[in-house]
Structure 1
Amino acid sequence: MSLTRDIEPSRHLGFGGGARTGHRPDPVPRQLLRDGNAAFWNPDDIDLTRDEADFATLSPGERRLTCLFVANLIAVGESAPQDLQPFVTAMATENRRDDETYLTQLVFEEAQHAQALRTWFDAVGMSDSLPWFTENGDVRRRSFLEELSWSLYALTDDQSPAAQIRAAVTHNHILEGCLGLTCYTAGAQICRNRGILPGLLRILEHIAADERRHVAWGTFTCRRHLAADDENWAIVLQRTQELLPLATEMIGEMLAPFGPGAPFGISMQGLMGSALSDVGRRLDSVARARGRHPEEVDRDHSPMRLEDEIEMDGNRSGGEDDRRTVVSIRRPVRPAP
């Protein structure tokens, strides 16, 4: 039996924690929560003693680009605990208990990511310079302070499926999936290929694993609304098309100071090529929810399996060194729908 919740004080109309679920597969958000619990990590356990020496050996351009990537990722993590509160409230109002619970874990993980990356900034002696890397950039400000905030805070007054889709595409698919995972993957490959910054490498690998769960939840959220109403497909496409040019511009803005020869051999085409391909694969996953029953989609773990596949494909394309895993991450077998 579904329960309507009023999140005002003392207005809860019921509790659903004891509901029977039988032997059906866990709903996607509940499984994501379990995966997150299994993969828990503590930033303070990561040894950063070698990173300071490695950082000092980089060229000025390499140090600058590394700090730009890390600082922008800190900005995402630090803004998430505040920006995502309207999404948590929307799930509570809709009585999506599993989603509400998972989003609290997601918010915690974003704060954890910011803590880990800020600790790395301190370890390499760059903490006083952090504001310089985050306070400039018109495209960056439009991404974080306008598009992201607008789409998430819109949920304060409008918790409709359309508003939820716009928020999920903005935060989970574009900011985390397209921009965030692109930077995490590129940074980890540089660390592996050059044999440098082992502490940063461990941080990036942990964060990337968390982010893939976040992206999977965004895909799932779009899928369940699409299964309920096929007209929501147009909203998914429209918001994606609105934001992809901004994501490309943001990467270009970070690389612009370096001209045609960016450090570490990084290029706009290299960074965005695989990212855009992954966006397309996630859209395909969303589209496959069309015409299906919402309850069936609720227990279809294919968005999680897709993120596992994207990660494996990226590792294979990077060569033998990129297939080596520094951090042991427990990955449960994904049950078929």
Structure 2
Amino acid sequence: MSLTRDIEPRRHLGFGGGARIARRPDPVPRQLFNDGNAAFWNPGDIDLSRDEADFAALTPDERRLTCLFVANLISIGESALQDLQPFVTAMASESGRDDETYLTQLVFEEAKHAQAFRAWLDAVGMGDCLPWFTEGGDVRRQNFLEELAWSLYALTDDHSPAAQIRAAVTHHHVVEGCLALACYTAAARICRSRGIFPGLLRIIEHIAADERRHVAWGTFTCRRHVAADDANWAIVLQRTQELLPLATRMIGEMLAPFGPGAPFGVSMQGLMASALSDVGRRLDSVALARGRRPDEIGRDHAPIRLEHEIGREGGRAPGEDDRGTVVALRRQL
């Protein structure tokens, strides 16, 4: 027997947390929620007093690239505040209580990320300049205003496993796991190698840990649907292969104004090589769910362990060519 949780006003038929039926207990999202609570941080506690002087000492191109990184990361956080609401609704309707709880925390964390980066821009005197870095870019608009929004808002009317997979691959694996974490890794390396921006580095360290939990939930979501129906594996692969070229083009578009010599030695290959490799490792984790029972997947913390491993390894070989990595992502059905 199942409990229908209609979330429309005055039609709520039950409380998922107190129901004895139709509650899918999944320790993985519950563990992610607990980890998020344990790792709580407050952007207002981070000291940004030294970052303004460090920013002023950069060259104009270095300041521009730094602001581009931060502005794009703000865009990812702010888009999640609206675009993830249909995913929360889908989980509520499915009685995925642990998923619904975790996604609520995830949305809160994205709001905190945007707050932290906006505070940093204010601290370095660039708070009024955000539109300069976010309003251009055809590929960027295609990623955020078309592909991301389409995938997530499709869940408004379609809660099917296929729709959930497309949304999870788009937001969690590509936008967060590929684009955002590539920028976090590059920015953290710049801060450490140059000995600059201690406040920004602290922000990035907190946010990267949050994002890895977000990505782990996306991997888990794909795994449980693939375990339930092997035909869903093809949907995971198809959506990944549709989006990775766009992700690579977006990084290229961001670096294009600097020509062949971008500041800090940043290159598209250097930014994307490890990020694309990590996407491949997450695909391998999803593939390992094929043929397993869905209840086993709910108890398997493999996605969490994988993100811990990726986080410890901390990046890529500078200058590694990403073209071979893209080919390597073509997993077999």
Q: TM-score, normalised to structure 2's length?
A: 0.92
Corresponding residue of 2:65: 65
Please state how far the C-alpha of 1:6 moved relative to its aligned partner. 1.4
Taking only aligned residues, the RMSD between alpha carbons, in angstroms, comes to 1.7
Please state how far the C-alpha of 1:241 moved relative to its aligned partner. 0.3
Corresponding residue of 2:95: 95
Corresponding residue of 1:173: 173
Counterparts of 1:166 and 1:315, CA distance in 2: 26
Identical aligned residues as a percent: 83
Query: SS at the partner of 1:49?
Result: coil
Corresponding residue of 2:220: 220
Map Cα deviations across residues 105-129 of structure 1 (whole Å, 9 max, x no partner): 0000001000000000000001121
Corresponding residue of 1:198: 198
Corresponding residue of 1:269: 269
Corresponding residue of 1:17: 17
Do structure 1's residue 242 and structure 2's residue 257 form an aligned pair?
no
Counterparts of 2:57 and 2:117, CA distance in 1: 20
Q: How does 1:19-168 map onto structure 2 within 5 Å?
A: 27-168=27-168
Corresponding residue of 1:331: none
Please state how far the C-alpha of 1:10 moved relative to its aligned partner. 3.2
Corresponding residue of 1:334: none
Q: Does the C-alpha gap of structure 1 residues 26 and 225 become closer, same or farther in structure 2, counting only changes over 3 Å?
A: closer
Counterparts of 2:317 and 2:34, CA distance in 1: 29
Please state how far the C-alpha of 1:2 moved relative to its aligned partner. 4.5
Please state how far the C-alpha of 1:4 moved relative to its aligned partner. 2.2
Q: How does 1:180-191 map onto structure 2 within 5 Å?
A: 180-191=180-191
Please state how far the C-alpha of 1:134 moved relative to its aligned partner. 0.2
Map Cα deviations across residues 147-198 of structure 1 (whole Å, 9 max, x no partner): 0000000111111100000000000000000000010011011101110000
Map Cα deviations across residues 85-141 of structure 1 (whole Å, 9 max, x no partner): 100000011110110010000000001000000000000001121101000110111
Q: How does 1:256-335 map onto structure 2 within 5 Å?
A: 256-314=256-314
Please state how far the C-alpha of 1:300 moved relative to its aligned partner. 0.7
> Size of the alignment, in residue pairs?
315
Query: SS at the partner of 2:150?
Result: helix
Please state how far the C-alpha of 1:18 moved relative to its aligned partner. 4.5
Please state how far the C-alpha of 1:269 moved relative to its aligned partner. 1.0
Gaps of 5+ in 1: 319-337
Map Cα deviations across residues 46-85 of structure 1 (whole Å, 9 max, x no partner): 0000000000001111100000010000011111111111
